Structure formats: C-alpha cells, structure tokens
Structure 1
Amino acid sequence: MSAVPNSSFSRLAMGGFEFLTLVYHTTVREVRKSKGNAVQALLMEILQSAMIVIFFYVMITFLGLRGVAVRGSFILYVLTGVFLYLTHNKAISAVSGGGPVNPMLQHAPVTTFMMIVSGALSSLYVQVLAVMVITFVANVLVEPFTVYNLKRVALCFFIAWFSGVAIGIIFLSLRPFAPSTVKIVEQIYKRANMIFSGKMFLANALPASTLAFFTWNPLFHTIDQARGAAFVNYTPHKTTLDYAVYLSLVLICIGMMLEHFSRKTVSESWGKRQ
C-alpha cells in the first residue's frame, strides 16, 4: 500500500526536476540570445546599465535637481532610482515577448508559463549582476557610501522586478490580439516611467495637487520606499510597498487568465502580423 504514495512522490519529484531543468536552459537562452557569447552579452548589459546611470547622474545635475535630493550621498540617490527603474522596465520587456506565437513554443516541453518564468529570471539575473558591479565601482571610484537598511532596499528591488513581471504578463496576454497597438502602449508606459517613476525627485516633496499623477505607478512607490530604506535622513510618508505588491498580484491573476484565453484562441498565423 505504501508503494503508491512513494511512486506518486517520485513522479512529482521527477516532473519538478524536469521543469527546473527546462527553465534553466530557457533562462540561459534568454540571457545570451542577443549575443552568441554569454559573457559578452552580460558585459553589454552591464555597460548599458552603467551608461544609463551616468546619463541620469549628468541630467539631474544639469537640471539643478541635486537640491531636492536626500541629504547624503548623491550617487546613492541616483542609483536607488535608476536601478529600480531599469529592473522594472527590463522585466516588462523580458516577459512581454514570450507570447503564444513565440517560436520556442514549437518545442513540446516548452510552455508559455515556462517562457514567462525564464524571461523574468533572466532579466533578474542580469540586473542583479549589473547592480553588484556598478555599485562596487561607484563606491570605489566615485564616492564611498553606506546603505542604511540594505535588506529593505533589496526588498524594494525585488518588488520593482515583480511588478514589472506582472505588467509584462498583461502586455504578453494582449499582444496576440493587437500586436502593434500593445507594442506602442508598452513603449509609452516605459517612456512615461522616465518621469512618473519619481526617480528624479522625492514623493514627500510633491504637492498634493500633482501627487495623483504619480501614485498610480507601483514603481513610484518602490523607488520612494527604497530611498527611505537607503537614507537615514528620509522617511516616506506618501507611498507604501503594500500597494505595489497587491497591485502586482492582481495584475498577474488577470494576466494569466487573459493569457489562457489568448492561448486557446490564437492561431499560428497571428504571429505573421507582428
């Protein structure tokens, strides 16, 4: 009688191991798909992130916004905004491209859910590596700084990634029905995050009349909370991580239901319109 449960557990364990193996290989493919060499692909991603950090550092300085920054390390102020902004947008791009008409789905073991997981993990892996390298270089070569609450900053980083995954699933589920329109909306959203993410200013400094233009954005909440964790001199009063987490969970549920519907109705010829 005990052989049946053991057999069921063995099949479950083997199925889980096979799934994780496939996720690993699809994640590796996502990381290196832009370049033939994995190391070269990672270096290019780190370089791109570094260039964006430098761009925003110069832009904030040029626009005279250093006066509204938190009292403390200015480079840390820039990094907490730019890293979460990049992580959020990269997660959207990585997840939204793995729809039902993805060529990888022609391979039998690969599923849409697996493509979502591998895309999300690949973007997270690259961004974690970029954060570690750029933070080390900035701390050594630009100016030394200390993070007040590193664990909470890391939590905000992962929530920014998680909310990006959730929004990416929404775009992925809608892409088969209107690929061009969804692509445009996705680009508009990511461009809008240049301003509405709040990475160039503090939520506490915004007047009540303009705050509503930013509080809809989960990234705005995570960046502001990350700065509250990074700086001992700043306490966020107008944002909360709960909003970003709950909104992300709701979007994932809606997105997965829409994806299931689109997967049932999509045809292979739909991919020709993209």
Structure 2
Amino acid sequence: MFKQRQNRTMLQAGFTTIALIYHQTVYNLRTEHRNAVVGLLLTMLQSVLFVAVFLAMYSLIGLKSSPIRGDFLLYIMSGIFIFMLHVQSVGAVAQSHSISSGIIKHEPLNAAVLISGAALAVLYRQTIGCIVILSVYYMAFQPFTIHDPLGAGALFLLAWFSGVAIGLIFLGIRPWSPQACKVLTTLYQRINMFASGKFFVANAMPGFILPWFSWNPLFHLIDQERGFLFINYSPHKTMLYYPLWVTIAALMVGLLINFTTRKYESISWSAVQ
C-alpha cells in the first residue's frame, strides 16, 4: 500500500503513461457533466444549435441551396464540425493545467499527461457527436455520399491537432499573464467565428476579400475538407499543406514556450493573481 511503484522497463513506463492519459481523459469528460451520456448529448445539442442558426440565417438571406453541388446540410455541418473541434481544442489545452493546481501535486501526473487528457477529451466528444449527428441525418432525413472518407477523417484529425498546437502557445503564456492568456484565447476563438470561412466557399470568393481569410489555417482546413466530402468540388484557392506547416511551427513554438515557462514558473506566482 505504501510502496512506491517503479517502472523497470521502457515498455512498462509506456503502458503506465497510457493508463494515466486514459484516466485523465475520463476525468476531464466527467468534469463536464456527472453523467457521461448527458455530456455527449449536450455536445451534440451545441452542434445542432449551430446548424439550426446557420440554416435560419441562410433562409433569411434567401439562400436555400448549397453553393457546392451536393447536400446543403452536409455543406453547413462540414464547416461547423471542423470549427468547433479546432476552437474547443485550443480552449481545452490552454486551460489544461497550472503548477498551482492541486492535481499536479500527485507525482505520477505530469504536464504531458494533463495536456493529452484535455485534448483527447475534446476529440472524443466531438468525434462521437459528429458520427451520431451524421448517422441520424443519413438514416432519418437524407442519405448522402462522402467522396473520400479517409481524407475527410485525416483533415478532421489535423484540425484537432492544429488546435492542440495553438493551445500550447496560450498555455505557455498563461503562467506569465493569466488574464492576457484568457483574453487572447477568447479573441482567437471569436475571430474564427468569421475568419474560418465556414459559411463561405473559397472558390467563389473575390480576390480582394481572399487575403482576409487565407492567413488562417482553419480556413484552408474547412475548404479542403469540403474537397474530400464533395465529388463536385475541387479547392483552388486554398492549400492542403499550409495548415500542416503552420501546425508544426505552432507546436515547436508552443513546446519552447512551455519548456521555458516550467523552468522559471513558481507556485508563488499564483499568490499575486
């Protein structure tokens, strides 16, 4: 009972880390709601409300058919699912842990486990919600065909991973200035409500408007995702590798900031906040 467990091999250490990440992911899922099923239902309800708002907005402006030749609702959901996965990953990782929190004082835990648990909890909720909503829509309302499911799934994961990488940057800033981190994270999420281009088609955008969106890797991800979903749409104004390179660069910057922060961070910092 009082004997400290020690890992004697790299394989045993790997399994211990995986087990810690699993339990931390479950813990994060449980903190959203005491009932895991209700938590998933709330996540799906949030996505459904987004879809309903966009449908109402398109009806008000008189647009009732997809600008891409394909299913109109699938066109809307493609942008909403990628957007929500990305911004929620950013927020979850940015708030994943602090050196002054009580849970970090347990020796088996470390920053990597807490970050991985927060990121995987978002991925789990959004993936299950996406699958359930698409299944209900397919079986109860309108059958549809996805042109390249593997490519669409890969971009879905890249949207999640890019959110994790950007969240690491905000996480590194958080100990130095918690209020600035909170403001920057919220600002990034709010800007992407419009700058993600989830209700635009990049191929149909005028050239003078495109630079306002082309800086955003999420804009490229959503447009490229629609290229994998619809057989009749080929993205010409966005790039497939741009969000990948931005994600790698953000990951490196985030790791450097976090390593530097943990070198100087002290529990006493939280006393003056």
Shared fold (TM-score greater than 0.5)?
A: yes
Amino acid at match of 2:39: A
2:40 to 42, 46, 54: 42
Q: Is the 8 A contact 1:99 1:175 kept in 2?
A: no
Structure 1 residue runs without a partner (length 5+) = 1-8
Q: Equivalent residue of 2:245, what SS? A: helix
> Hey, what does 1:72 align to over in structure 2?
70
Residue in 1 aligned with 2:22? 24
Distance apart, 1:69 and its partner CA? 1.9
Aligned to 2:247: 248
Look up the match of 1:162: 161
Superposition map of 1:118-133 within 5 A: 118-133=117-132
Distance change >3 Å, CA 65–CA 140, structure 1 → 2: same
Percent of aligned pairs with the same amino acid: 39
**Counterpart residue number, 1:238:** 237
Q: Amino acid of the residue matched to residue 142 of structure 1? A: F
Q: Which moved more, 1:142-151 or 1:64-73?
A: 64-73
Alignment gaps of 5+ in structure 2: 1-6
How many residues of Structure 1 are paired with residues of Structure 2 in the alignment? 266
Q: SS at the partner of 2:213?
A: coil
Give the SS at the match of 1:241.
coil
Deviations 1:216-260 (A, max 9, x none): 111100100011111111110011121111110111111011011
* Aligned twin of 1:263: 262
**CA 1:138–1:272: 2 relative to 1, 3 Å:** farther
Judge which range, 158-167 or 139-148, deviates more.
Answer: 139-148
Deviation at 1:68, TM superposition (A): 6.4
Deviations 1:23-54 (A, max 9, x none): 00001011111212222222222222222222
State the one-letter code of the partner of 1:92. V
Q: Who is 1:193 aligned against?
A: 192
User: How far apart, in 2, do the equivalents of 1:119 and 1:96 lie?
Assistant: 9
Name the CA shift for 1:38/1:145 in 2 (closer, same or farther; >3 Å): same
Check conservation: 1:88, 1:161, Cα contact below 8 A.
Answer: yes
User: Is the alpha carbon distance of 1:106 and 1:208 closer, same or farther for their aligned partners in structure 2, counting shifts above 3 Å?
Assistant: same
- State how far apart, in whole Å, the 1-side matches of 2:54 and 2:272 are: 36
Query: What does residue 5 of structure 1 align with?
Result: none
Tell whether the 8 Å contact from 1:173 to 1:262 is kept in structure 2 after alignment.
Answer: yes
> Which amino acid is 1:169 matched to?
L
What amino acid does structure 2 have at the position aligned with 1:35?
H
Give matches, 1:140-219, under 5 Å. Answer: 140-219=139-218
In structure 2, C-alpha distance between the alignment counterparts of 1:10 and 1:111, rounded to whole Å: 19
TM-score normalised over the length of structure 1? 0.92
Cα distance in 2 for partners of 1:210, 1:36 equals 45
If each structure's helix is expressed as a fraction of its own residues, which one has the higher value?
Answer: 1
Q: CA deviation at 1:71?
A: 1.6
Q: Equivalents in 2 of 1:255, 1:104: separation in Å?
A: 22
- Residue aligning to 1:6: none
RMSD over aligned Cα atoms: 1.7
Following the alignment from structure 1 to structure 2, what is the Cα–Cα distance between the partners of residues 85 and 26? 25
- Which residue of the partner structure matches residue 103 of structure 1? 102
Is 2:95–2:171's contact at 8 Å kept on the other side of the alignment? yes
